[in-house]
């Protein structure tokens, strides 16, 4: 469904993404992890076509992703949830969801809004301005926006940031639920959350893919331990 | 928003009754104020609703005024003149908007570009003094302006056109204002209007939700330009005269001040702002105060400081509070 080849992104002299290959199959649930500065956020923005790559290609359903206008990326079926919730503060919860639902559902947007409201359990606060919501609820609003748009590929950048442990657990359930309908890529710091998702994990390091596999395989990978966990348990004693 | 039909009825009744209560001079004054209201409304549509600050509304107003003059003088029809005013301003807005919105020019640069275009028009129209500068029978007249612009006339098929007297002219301009306000409110409340508010809040996010913001901004700007052009045509027809002063820096700023004072985003605020500021200007002028503009400036600063959101939202909140307070007081009773 999505294929990146030889992806490079440079900021001045800094190579944030340095020759990355990445393949995603339809229906997959994939977690991206890596230490700070590994290039997760940059890679994420390249997938979302917010940034254009310095070199390399990204193809989504055969489309040349970096050449698309931002609105065409959404219309191609990619939905994005940002690390810091990017929601319309001055608009109501329902209006935020309606904006997300409208372009796909048109006149049926109202029904999609109701479904999303139920899923994020904010039905009672539908008319509240988003500016008046807690940080955790804003995360839910943005997840609701992604749900209402019903994209084929969903990109989630640290969806549990600012959530309580219980909320993070609920998010993991929801992400697995969403995965039945759509392909999902999650960038995440919280290892408990990643474990709950039981997804294929891709470890990034210095702008390239270091390892790929299940959480158990990754945990047993010595190189990953060295670099990602920053300690050498096997070298002790 | 449910109170809107009541607002409308009141507005229409007040408008209908005013000529019976006011002197002829006041009716004539109020007529031109209502043309200014249209100009303020045009800015509120693009700035208040879609969040794009345009300093160019004065340019569309002026172009509309000149176009009305040129078409009116040459064709003899003031209806065609008004159509020409709307069309020429809309075309200018389309050109300006196409290159800036599709070129992804930032908001700040857009404000500067629109102001620059206005000031260039000021220069260009100022240097058209000689008889060489004429379009058909209409002489542009440089800084002295274009004279002999025909008054708005009632033109019905099969009848000789009759120039509108002050009171009918008042009704025509007032009626146009109400119609444009009604259409504008419908636009604001439509799904298109909801997306415009989203663009105002966060343009980048709106694109990522699948909306092509470029044509939406362009269309809004063209509508806004057309309304400003209509206002300019009415202004020229009202005074039989237009000069490059309409393209001046102070005129461009004045439109922004009207909307700021009245409050952005509701369209009602723009109208209230234009009326309040123009009334204040006239009142201070008539009281022959020496420092009219200084006093006016102070008054405007005070208004904006006390009501940063503008007069109309403040009045709305005040009314809401008055309604809520007794209800709350009753609620605590046993």
B234-285: pLDDT as tens digits? 999 999 999 999 999 989 999 999 999 999 999 999 999 999 999 988 888 7
**Counting one residue from A and one from B, how many pairs have CB atoms under 8 Å apart?**
52
**Model pLDDT, residue B333:** 54
**Per-residue model confidence as pLDDT tens digits over B37-58:** 999 999 999 999 999 999 999 9
Which of the 8 DSSP states describes residue B165?
P
Residues of B in contact with A69 (CB under 8 A): 207, 212
Distance from CA of B210 to the nearest CA of A (A): 4
Nearest CB to B201 within list A48, A80, A91 = A91
- Other Cβ atoms less than 10 A from the Cβ of B260: the count is 25
CB A86 within 8 A of CB A94: no
Task: Give me the mean pLDDT over the B198-204 stretch.
Answer: 94
Q: What is the Cβ-side half-sphere exposure of residue B21, based on CA atoms within 13 angstroms?
A: 7
Regarding beta strands A153-157 and A78-81, do their DSSP bridges make them parallel or antiparallel, or are they unpaired? Answer: parallel
Q: Which of A5-19, B207-221, B276-290, B304-318 has the highest mean pLDDT?
A: B207-221
C-alpha distances (whole Å) from A50 to each of A15, A181, B30 are 17, 24, 51
Task: Give me the mean pLDDT over the B64-74 stretch.
Answer: 97
Q: How far apart are CA A96 and CA A73, in angstroms?
A: 19
Residues of B in contact with A86 (CB under 8 A): 202, 205
**Model pLDDT, residue B19:** 93
- Kindly tell me if the per-residue pLDDT of B331 is higher than 50: yes
Quick check: B209 and A50 CB within 8 A? no
- Kindly tell me if the per-residue pLDDT of A106 is higher than 50: yes
Lowest mean pLDDT among A127-141, B72-86, B163-177: A127-141
Task: Report the chain A residue with the minimal C-alpha distance to residue B203.
Answer: A88
CB B54 within 8 A of CB B221: yes
Task: Give me the mean pLDDT over the B207-212 stretch.
Answer: 92
Write down the residue that tokens 């605590």 correspond to.
B332
- Burial class from Cβ neighbours inside 10 Å (0-12, 13-18, 19+) for residue A26 reads exposed
Quick check: A86 and B198 CB within 8 A? no
**Model pLDDT, residue B219:** 98
Nearest CB to B197 within list A86, A91, A100 = A91
Name residues whose C-beta falls within 8 Å of residue B224's C-beta, 6 or more positions apart in sequence.
Answer: B42, B43, B45, B46, B54, B57, B60, B93
Cα four-point dihedral sign B257, B261, B266, B270: negative
The DSSP element (H or E) to which A203 belongs, if any, is strand A200-205
Q: How far apart are CA A164 and CA A135, in angstroms?
A: 10
Lowest mean pLDDT among A129-138, B55-64, B87-96, B167-176: A129-138
Lowest mean pLDDT among A179-183, B82-86, B116-120: A179-183
- Kindly tell me if the per-residue pLDDT of B79 is higher than 70: yes
Q: How far apart are CA A9 and CA A105, in angstroms?
A: 35
The DSSP element (H or E) to which B116 belongs, if any, is helix B107-126
Quick check: B213 and A69 CB within 8 A? no
Name residues whose C-beta falls within 8 Å of residue B267's C-beta, 6 or more positions apart in sequence.
Answer: B41, B44, B45, B48, B49, B181, B184, B185, B188
- Kindly tell me if the per-residue pLDDT of A165 is higher than 90: no
Q: Provide the b/e sequence for B204-227 (b: ≥16 CB within 10 Å).
A: ebbbbbbbbbbebbbbbbbbbbbb
**Model pLDDT, residue A82:** 82
Q: Which of B254, B273, B253 is nearest to B314 (CA)?
A: B273
- Kindly tell me if the per-residue pLDDT of B92 is higher than 90: yes
Task: Give me the mean pLDDT over the B170-181 stretch.
Answer: 95
Mean pLDDT of all residues belonging to chain B = 91
Phi, psi dihedral angles at A187 (to 5 degrees): -95, 125
Task: Give me the mean pLDDT over the A174-200 stretch.
Answer: 88
Percent of chain B residues topping a pLDDT of 70: 95
Q: Which of A109-123, B60-74, B278-292 has the highest mean pLDDT?
A: B60-74
Q: Please state at what angle helix A135-149 crosses helix A109-120, rounded to 10 degrees.
A: 140
- Kindly tell me if the per-residue pLDDT of A230 is higher than 70: no
- Kindly tell me if the per-residue pLDDT of B2 is higher than 60: no
**Model pLDDT, residue B200:** 95
Percent of chain B residues topping a pLDDT of 90: 74
**Per-residue model confidence as pLDDT tens digits over B130-166:** 889 999 999 999 999 999 999 999 988 888 888 999 9
**Model pLDDT, residue B161:** 87
CB A161 within 8 A of CB B221: no
- Whether the complex's predicted ipTM is more than 0.85 is answered with no
User: Which of B200, B209, B309 would best serve as a mutation to test chain A binding (most A beta carbons within 10 A)?
Assistant: B209
Q: Provide the b/e sequence for B274-290 (b: ≥16 CB within 10 Å).
A: bbbbbebbeebeeeeee
Mean pLDDT of all residues belonging to chain A = 87
Phi, psi dihedral angles at A35 (to 5 degrees): -65, 165
Name residues whose C-beta falls within 8 Å of residue A26's C-beta, 6 or more positions apart in sequence.
Answer: A1, A152, A183
**Model pLDDT, residue A48:** 84
Quick check: B212 and A50 CB within 8 A? no
Q: Which residues of B touch A (CB under 8 A)?
A: 191, 194-195, 197-198, 201-202, 204-213
Q: How far apart are CA B256 and CA B270, in angstroms?
A: 9
Q: Which of the four pLDDT bands, split at 50, 70 and 90, describes residue A236?
A: very low
User: Which of A85, A88, A116, A151 would best serve as a mutation to test chain B binding (most B beta carbons within 10 A)?
Assistant: A88
Q: How far apart are CA A203 and CA B82, in angstroms?
A: 66
């Amino acid at each position: 469904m999505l294929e990146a080849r030889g992806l490079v992104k440079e900021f001045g002299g800094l190579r944030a993404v340095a020759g990355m290959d990445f393949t995603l199959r339809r229906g997959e649930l994939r977690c991206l992890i890596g230490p700070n500065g590994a290039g997760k956020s940059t890679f994420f923005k390249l997938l979302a076509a917010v940034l254009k790559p310095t070199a390399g290609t990204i193809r989504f359903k055969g489309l040349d992703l970096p050449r698309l206008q931002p609105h065409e990326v959404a219309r191609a079926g990619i939905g994005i949830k940002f690390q810091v919730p990017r929601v319309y503060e001055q608009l109501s919860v329902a209006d935020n969801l309606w904006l997300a639902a409208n372009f796909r559902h048109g006149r049926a947007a109202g029904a999609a809004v109701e479904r999303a409201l139920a899923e994020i359990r904010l039905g009672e606060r539908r008319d509240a301005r988003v500016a008046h919501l807690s940080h955790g609820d804003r995360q839910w609003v943005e997840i609701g926006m992604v749900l209402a748009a019903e994209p084929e590929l969903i990109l989630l950048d640290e969806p549990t940031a600012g959530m309580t442990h219980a909320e993070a657990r609920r998010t993991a359930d929801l992400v697995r639920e969403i995965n039945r309908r759509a392909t999902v890529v999650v960038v995440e710091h919280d290892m408990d959350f990643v474990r709950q998702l039981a997804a294929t994990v891709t470890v990034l390091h210095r702008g390239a893919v270091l390892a790929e596999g299940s959480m158990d395989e990754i945990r047993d990978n010595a190189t990953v331990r060295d670099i990602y966990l920053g300690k050498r348990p096997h070298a002790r004693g | 928003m449910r109170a809107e039909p009541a607002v409308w009825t009141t507005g229409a009744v007040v408008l209908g009754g005013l000529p019976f209560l006011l002197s002829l001079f006041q009716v004539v004054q109020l007529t031109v104020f209502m043309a200014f209201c249209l100009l303020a409304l045009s800015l509120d549509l693009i700035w208040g609703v879609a969040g794009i600050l345009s300093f160019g509304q004065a340019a569309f107003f002026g172009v509309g005024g000149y176009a009305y003059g040129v078409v009116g003088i040459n064709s003899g029809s003031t209806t065609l003149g008004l159509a020409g005013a709307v069309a020429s301003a809309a075309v200018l807005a389309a050109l300006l908007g196409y290159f800036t919105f599709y070129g992804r020019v930032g908001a700040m640069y857009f404000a500067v570009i629109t102001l620059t275009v206005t000031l260039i028009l000021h220069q260009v129209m100022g240097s058209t003094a000689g008889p060489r500068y004429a379009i058909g029978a209409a002489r542009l007249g440089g800084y002295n302006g274009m004279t002999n612009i025909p008054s708005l006339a009632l033109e019905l098929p099969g009848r000789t056109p009759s120039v509108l007297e002050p009171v009918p002219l008042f009704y025509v301009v007032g009626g146009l204002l109400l119609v444009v306000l009604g259409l504008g409110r419908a636009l604001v409340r439509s799904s298109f209007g909801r997306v415009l508010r989203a663009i105002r809040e966060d343009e980048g996010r709106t694109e990522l939700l699948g909306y092509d913001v470029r044509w939406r901004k362009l269309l809004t700007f063209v509508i806004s330009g057309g309304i400003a052009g209509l206002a300019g045509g009415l202004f020229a027809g009202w005074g039989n005269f237009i000069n490059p002063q309409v393209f001046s820096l102070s005129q461009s700023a004045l439109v922004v001040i009207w909307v700021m004072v009245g409050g952005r985003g509701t369209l009602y605020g723009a109208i209230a702002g234009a009326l309040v500021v123009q009334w204040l200007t006239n009142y201070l002028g008539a009281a022959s105060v020496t420092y009219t503009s200084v006093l006016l400036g102070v008054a405007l600063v005070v208004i904006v400081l006390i009501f940063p959101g503008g007069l109309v939202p403040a009045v709305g909140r005040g009314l809401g509070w008055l309604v809520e307070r007794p209800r709350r007081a009753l609620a605590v009773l046993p």
